[in-house]
Amino acid sequence: MIAEAGHYALVLALALALIQSTVPIAGARWGDAALMNVARSTALAQLLFVAVSFTALVMLHVSSDFSVVNVFENSHSTKPLIYKITGVWGNHEGSMLLWVAILALFGGLVAAFGNNLPLSLRAHVLAVQAWIAAAFYLFILVTSNPFLRIATPPIEGRDLNPVLQDIGLAVHPPMLYLGYVGFSISFSFAVAALLEGRIDAAWARWVRPWTLVAWIFLTLGIAMGSYWAYYELGWGGWWFWDPVENASLMPWLAGTALLHSAVVMEKRNALKVWTILLSILTFSLSLLGTFLVRSGVLTSVHAFATDPTRGVFILLILCLFIGGSLTLYAWRASALKQGGLFAPISREGALVLNNLFLTTACATVFIGTLYPLALEVLTSDKISVGAPFFNLTFGPLFVPLMMAMSFGPLLAWKRGDLLAAAQRLTAAGIAALVTIAVVYAWTYGGSTFAPLAIGLAIFVIGGAVTDLAERTALFRVPFATAMQRARGLPRSTWGTSFAHAGIGVALIGIICETTWNSEYIGTLKPSDVAKVAGYELKLDGVTQRQGPNFREMIAQFTVSLDGEKLSVMTPSKRNFTTRGSSTTEAALLTRGASQLYISLGETTNEGAVAVRIYHKPLVLLIWWGPILMAFGGMLSLSDRRLRVGAPKPAKASRALQAAE
């Protein structure tokens, strides 16, 4: 019964989405407020029904109802409860249901909190949102129904892919989807603006908080996924430039550009047409990511069992929405009033530079990700584009971006003074140079690139601190006054500084980890000692243990530094009987921001075990950086200005409707 109820609720959600995608638009054309208000109630009802459908699938998984194909294929009665719940989206059908559930959630939020939006804009936004929703409901119902039954129910399920039986699955996909799908709101706003033929600074102010929410979640989602790969895959790698990772990085880059261009639009009423295009591109890249991961054109841990019809269906959705929105853009963008041009040396000029580099960097990732696919289709040559390609293209483009990042916030709107900004950055510059010298001397004979990169990171962090110090007039006025000023600063200013500093922090982590990573790979017998980066790791012994749905081989290591015992580490290897596959559970020992990392390989006949031990200096900074960035985003989101709501759109813009 539960499965049928869930299925039925999804069909009802589709019906509601179809109403929501047409009636409000008709209402807006005829100026009928009642019809436009239909969007609000249908969006809320849609959220309700999708929630029912999703809850139904969760209940089926929790109660291990193996008469449902989806549960049979991805669950097992002995699986711990948390993985029964997270396993709901650990498969293709369930993850698509999560996707539409989050889409409906965002639609519901716009409906519930969009009271200060002009009625016709809200109607249009929710209608566009419903087009996307309807397409994906159809996709689920036609090709990926999670509620299908098996005629003769088996007694036991096939269990979830062991790699996914981890707490990471509870956090990473929902976060990432909140990010991906959150960009649908800015897309809907952009298409609505094109349909209405009207856009102004108020529009940017409405769009910005939604974009910021999506960006925060995407940032955290990517960082979480990276940390998960780092500890779960047993290789100690945290970013592989895998197409699936790139698929999440591209919307992030475009979304970051969008956040910045929306600022220009809000403050200076310029870059309107560009901001609209970025909104469309960001969500298009999210859709592309969904296509790459869900269609089966790629093989990775993210691609669950695949079926060609699904790929074709998603490709159709992709073409329809990207093609449709870009056509609409080409047709209508000229009707939008252009904003003014401005001086290159100014805050808005710096933001344009940011956009230029971010979108170009995004384009290189796009080429590196899709070129192998295109080449295979055209010439059937198979190639792989790996880390070297991205290091050579993406890296150089990020260097000027990071240099400019410190200057941007110090420049005034309209006309900035580069020399004055440079003078204010003297302290940051000196700190960077000192760091370069110290690191270079300390690691003399090693890499020359690493000290320079760390210097750049220090410059970025220093720039963020300088911005705050300048605004609070720290060191120029009494300390108490400066603190008072600090409290009075807009939260978005704090947000900018945290987010920018986060980039610098992450860069330090990345450089330290890749340059000074030390490793030991070999076989150890009990009471053998491995030495890595000054630490001594003694293998005490290997024991076996039975887990709920796996057998586990646990090795115990005693870690000591300079003869002093620090801790005990217990990496393990789990063997999942149902799927006959094993996973490596790495053991991590955190020392400050650095980590010791042990993962196990096979055991040999003589009782020795193959181990991989890494010492990763300052590796945790790689993830603290994004956390700082997300924290900055949250601070900015809590800014009073965004809560107060946007001003009423300028009356003058009415005249633009004549352009229709």
Partner 1 sequence: MTRKQRRLTMIGGSLAVLAVAAALVLNAMRDSIVFFSTPSMAAEKQIPTGKRFRLGGLVQPGSLVRGDNLAVNFSVADGAATLPVSYKGILPDLFREGQGVVAEGALDASGVFKADTVLAKHDETYMPKDVADALKKQGHWKDDYGAKPGASAASAPAQGVTK
Candidates 1-9, 15-23, 106-114, 297-305 — which segment interacts with partner 1 by CB under 8 A?
A: 297-305
Candidates 302-310, 331-339, 474-482, 648-656 — which segment interacts with partner 1 by CB under 8 A?
A: 302-310
Candidates 169-177, 280-288, 315-323, 361-369 — which segment interacts with partner 1 by CB under 8 A?
A: 361-369
User: From residue 474, how far is each of 229, 409, 456, 483 by CA, in Å?
Assistant: 42, 17, 24, 8
Residue 315: CB atoms within 10 A of its CB come to: 13
- Read off the tokens for 442: 């300390």
Contact (Cβ atoms closer than 8 angstroms) between residue 634 and residue 490: no
Minimum separation from the CB atom of position 625 to partner 1 (A): 24
Question: Does residue 356 belong to the site contacting partner 1 (CB under 8 A)?
Answer: yes
- Read off the tokens for 33: 């407020």
* Residue 306-325 contact track with partner 1, rule CB under 8 A, x = bound: x-------------------
Contact (Cβ atoms closer than 8 angstroms) between residue 524 and residue 611: yes
Judged by CB under 8 A, the residue of 298, 439, 456, 621 near partner 1 is 298
Candidates 134-142, 277-285, 561-569, 571-579 — which segment interacts with partner 1 by CB under 8 A?
A: 571-579
Of 583 and 595, which CB lies nearer to partner 1 in the complex structure? 583
Candidates 183-191, 381-389, 419-427, 640-648 — which segment interacts with partner 1 by CB under 8 A?
A: 381-389
Judged by CB under 8 A, the residue of 55, 67, 360, 518 near partner 1 is 360
Site size toward partner 1, by CB under 8 A: 57
Of 122 and 612, which CB lies nearer to partner 1 in the complex structure? 612
Question: Does residue 144 belong to the site contacting partner 1 (CB under 8 A)?
Answer: no
Of 227 and 304, which CB lies nearer to partner 1 in the complex structure? 304
Contact (Cβ atoms closer than 8 angstroms) between residue 234 and residue 584: yes
* All residues at 6 or more sequence positions from 79 whose CB lies less than 8 Å from its CB, including other chains: 87, 159, 160, 165, 548, 549
Question: Does residue 303 belong to the site contacting partner 1 (CB under 8 A)?
Answer: yes
Interface of this chain with partner 1, residues 232 to 251, rule: CB under 8 A:
233-234, 242
Judged by CB under 8 A, the residue of 379, 384, 527, 546 near partner 1 is 384
Question: Does residue 343 belong to the site contacting partner 1 (CB under 8 A)?
Answer: yes
**Phi and psi at residue 351, in whole multiples of 5°?**
-70, -35
Of 601 and 649, which CB lies nearer to partner 1 in the complex structure? 601
Question: Does residue 31 belong to the site contacting partner 1 (CB under 8 A)?
Answer: no
Of 384 and 546, which CB lies nearer to partner 1 in the complex structure? 384
Q: Is 497 left (phi over 0), alpha (psi -120 to 50) or beta?
A: alpha
- Read off the tokens for 264: 């220009």
Contact (Cβ atoms closer than 8 angstroms) between residue 419 and residue 395: no
Per DSSP, 527 falls in state T
Of 318 and 524, which CB lies nearer to partner 1 in the complex structure? 524
Q: Is 533 left (phi over 0), alpha (psi -120 to 50) or beta?
A: left
Q: Is 291 left (phi over 0), alpha (psi -120 to 50) or beta?
A: alpha
Judged by CB under 8 A, the residue of 388, 445, 488, 534 near partner 1 is 388
Minimum separation from the CB atom of position 352 to partner 1 (A): 7
Minimum separation from the CB atom of position 387 to partner 1 (A): 8
Burial, 441: exposed, middle or buried (Cβ in 10 Å; 0-12, 13-18, 19+)? exposed
Of 179 and 234, which CB lies nearer to partner 1 in the complex structure? 234
Question: Does residue 533 belong to the site contacting partner 1 (CB under 8 A)?
Answer: no
Of 202 and 524, which CB lies nearer to partner 1 in the complex structure? 524
Minimum separation from the CB atom of position 607 to partner 1 (A): 12
User: From residue 497, how far is each of 17, 461, 633, 654 by CA, in Å?
Assistant: 41, 8, 10, 38
Of 208 and 612, which CB lies nearer to partner 1 in the complex structure? 612
Q: Is 560 helix (H, G, I), strand (E, B) or coil?
A: strand
Burial, 379: exposed, middle or buried (Cβ in 10 Å; 0-12, 13-18, 19+)? exposed
User: From residue 211, how far is each of 204, 323, 585 by CA, in Å?
Assistant: 10, 22, 36
Of 609 and 628, which CB lies nearer to partner 1 in the complex structure? 609
Minimum separation from the CB atom of position 96 to partner 1 (A): 17
Judged by CB under 8 A, the residue of 385, 454, 598, 646 near partner 1 is 385
Question: Does residue 364 belong to the site contacting partner 1 (CB under 8 A)?
Answer: yes
Judged by CB under 8 A, the residue of 187, 189, 357, 631 near partner 1 is 357
* Residue 508-527 contact track with partner 1, rule CB under 8 A, x = bound: -------------xxx----
Of 112 and 315, which CB lies nearer to partner 1 in the complex structure? 315
Question: Does residue 156 belong to the site contacting partner 1 (CB under 8 A)?
Answer: no
CA pair distance 1, 268, nearest whole angstrom: 57
Minimum separation from the CB atom of position 73 to partner 1 (A): 10
Of 494 and 576, which CB lies nearer to partner 1 in the complex structure? 576
Question: Does residue 393 belong to the site contacting partner 1 (CB under 8 A)?
Answer: yes
Of 141 and 397, which CB lies nearer to partner 1 in the complex structure? 397
The closest of 249, 257, 211, 248 to 633, measured between CA atoms, is 211
CA pair distance 428, 448, nearest whole angstrom: 21
Contact (Cβ atoms closer than 8 angstroms) between residue 398 and residue 361: yes
CA pair distance 285, 279, nearest whole angstrom: 10
The closest of 485, 653, 512 to 594, measured between CA atoms, is 512
State the sign of the Cα–Cα–Cα–Cα dihedral 32, 35, 39, 45. positive
Question: Does residue 392 belong to the site contacting partner 1 (CB under 8 A)?
Answer: yes
Judged by CB under 8 A, the residue of 134, 214, 353, 454 near partner 1 is 353
* Residue 576-615 contact track with partner 1, rule CB under 8 A, x = bound: --xxxxxxx----------------xxxxx----x-x---
DSSP H/E element including 71: helix 69-74
Judged by CB under 8 A, the residue of 80, 308, 323, 396 near partner 1 is 396
What is the side-by-side strand order in the sheet with 587-591? 518-524, 609-616, 594-603, 587-591
CA pair distance 121, 529, nearest whole angstrom: 68
Per DSSP, 649 falls in state P
- Read off the tokens for 18: 């179809």
The closest of 600, 602, 601 to 556, measured between CA atoms, is 600
Candidates 295-303, 463-471, 537-545, 546-554 — which segment interacts with partner 1 by CB under 8 A?
A: 295-303
Of 523 and 653, which CB lies nearer to partner 1 in the complex structure? 523
**Phi and psi at residue 580, in whole multiples of 5°?**
65, 25
Question: Does residue 328 belong to the site contacting partner 1 (CB under 8 A)?
Answer: no
Binding site for partner 1 (CB under 8 A): 161, 233-234, 242, 298-301, 303-306, 341-344, 352-353, 356-357, 360-361, 363-364, 367-368, 371, 381-386, 388-389, 392-393, 396-397, 521-523, 573, 578-584, 601-605, 610, 612
